[in-house]
Amino acid sequence: MSQEDEPEATRRESGQNETSRANRSWWDRNADDYQQEHGAFLGDHRFVWGPEGLDEADAGLLGPAAELRGRDVLEIGAGAAQCARWLAERGARPVALDLSHRQLQHARRIGESADRTAGGVALVEADAAALPFAAGSFDLACSAYGALPFVAEPVRVLREVRRVLRPGGRLVFSVTHPVRWAFPDEPGPEGLTLAASYFDRTPYVEQDDSGDAVYVEHHRTMGDRVRDVVAAGFRLVDLVEPEWPSWNRQEWGGWSPLRGAFIPGTAIFVCVRD
Ligand SMILES: C[S@@+](CC[C@H](N)C(=O)[O-])C[C@H]1O[C@@H](n2cnc3c(N)ncnc32)[C@H](O)[C@@H]1O
């Protein structure tokens, strides 16, 4: 992108349709760079919940790994389906869903390089706000920074996930920790100085010269997220704020060991569909 094409970063309202359209194009355009930059950290078949490096293999937020065998699992906003491949290797039957065609092409590339099938993972291109599955299709649903930080109507997505889960099913999803919105998205010391109101829910929007959004993230406070989960009919059973471990020296955008020592970067919601 040339200098004059550089989008303007602003805070303004952005509805579901504009948000979805902008983010689909953004992820299609940026999937190659994203996988190039973060692919090694994500691993081809590792299930990591966020930049802190918390592994599902250690955290067991979806339940004991030994009990994943035979489970139907939906991964929402799966990107290149690294988490879904980890699940498949434990005998689960994962479906990796994403809005971006290019992200799913990476999912196919990595899966096929492993075993010529797609890594035992079904790939579905769709918006998380309208899941193309019958009610009660899955035992578990998960999302590591997929979809939920990027949608204007999170309750709509959560209701869809509840619909496709069987009774007793579990949804675990991670998002940017809400407190991050009050700080500049910088990995260095400048990212430790309050710069905005935590309570300002105005979306972060990058827009082109015509004012059309090309990338959108939506902010919810911690209380909003809890209310969203409850409004969608889930029971919240845990809220995990991973601490930055000493072994992880790797920065990821505004996430860094420096900031990780002071403020949380990720919030993981563990929810049950009764
Ligand atoms: C930060 S990536 C996370 C993917 C993967 N878990 C990872 O860690 O790389 C966010 C993903 O969410 C997807 N996404 C964004 N909005 C979505 C939506 N409305 N429905 C489905 N996927 C969406 C993007 O295409 C992208 O692949």
Q: Which domain holds residue 223?
A: 3-272
pTM of the predicted protein model? 0.96
CATH number at residue 14: 3.40.50.150
More confident residue, 165 or 4: 165
Average pLDDT over residues 47-62: 98
Average pLDDT over residues 231-259: 98
The pLDDT > 70 percentage for the chain reads 96
Q: How far apart are CA 128 and CA 147, in angstroms?
A: 7
> What pLDDT, on a 0 to 100 scale, did the predictor assign at position 114?
65
Enumerate residues lining ligand 1, CB below 6 A: 20, 23, 27, 42, 77, 79, 83, 98-100, 103, 127-129, 144-147, 150-151
* Residues in CB range of 141: below 8 A, 6 or more apart: 73, 74, 75, 76, 161, 164, 165, 169, 170, 171, 172, 173
Q: Is residue 102 within 8 Å of 28, Cβ to Cβ?
A: yes
Average pLDDT over residues 4-10: 86
Distance 155 CA to ligand 1 centre (A): 17
pLDDT band at 5 (very low <50, low <70, confident <90, very high): confident
Closest CA to 223 of 169, 182, 269, 191: 269
Distance 87 CA to ligand 1 centre (A): 18
Q: Is residue 117 within 8 Å of 149, Cβ to Cβ?
A: no
Strand order in the sheet with 266-272: 122-125, 93-98, 72-76, 138-144, 165-176, 266-272, 235-240
Model confidence at 91: pLDDT above 60: yes
* Residue given tokens 């096929």 in the structure block: 112
Model confidence at 85: pLDDT above 50: yes
Model confidence at 222: pLDDT above 80: yes
* Residues in CB range of 12: below 8 A, 6 or more apart: 202, 203, 205, 207
Q: How many CB atoms lie within 10 A of CB 104?
A: 24
Q: How far apart are CA 196 and CA 90, in angstroms?
A: 43
Q: How far apart are CA 192 and CA 211, in angstroms?
A: 30
Distance 128 CA to ligand 1 centre (A): 9
Q: Which of 23, 95, 148, 268 to mutate to test the pocket of ligand 1 (most atoms within 8 A of CB)?
A: 23
Q: Whose CA is nearest to atom 10 of ligand 1?
A: 146
Average pLDDT over residues 58-70: 97
Q: How many CB atoms lie within 10 A of CB 203?
A: 20
Chain center to CA of 236:
18
The pLDDT > 90 percentage for the chain reads 95
Distance 199 CA to ligand 1 centre (A): 25
Average pLDDT over residues 238-252: 98
Average pLDDT over residues 246-250: 97
> What pLDDT, on a 0 to 100 scale, did the predictor assign at position 2?
41
> What pLDDT, on a 0 to 100 scale, did the predictor assign at position 117?
58
Q: Is residue 138 within 8 Å of 169, Cβ to Cβ?
A: yes
Query: Mean pLDDT, the chain, as a whole number?
Result: 96
Q: How far apart are CA 123 and CA 125, in angstroms?
A: 7
User: Angle at CA 57, nearest 5°, toward 55 and 59?
Assistant: 65
Strand order in the sheet with 8-11: 8-11, 204-207, 213-217
Model confidence at 4: pLDDT above 80: no
* Residue given tokens 């992880």 in the structure block: 248
Q: Which of 34, 75, 98, 173 to mutate to test the pocket of ligand 1 (most atoms within 8 A of CB)?
A: 98
User: Angle at CA 88, nearest 5°, toward 128 and 109?
Assistant: 75
> What pLDDT, on a 0 to 100 scale, did the predictor assign at position 115?
60
Q: How many CB atoms lie within 10 A of CB 37?
A: 13
pLDDT tens, position by position, 176-190: 999 999 999 999 999
> What pLDDT, on a 0 to 100 scale, did the predictor assign at position 3?
44
Average pLDDT over residues 249-253: 97
What are 154's two structure tokens? 């999170």
pLDDT band at 120 (very low <50, low <70, confident <90, very high): confident
Average pLDDT over residues 64-77: 97
pLDDT band at 1 (very low <50, low <70, confident <90, very high): very low
- As for how many domains the chain has, the answer is 1
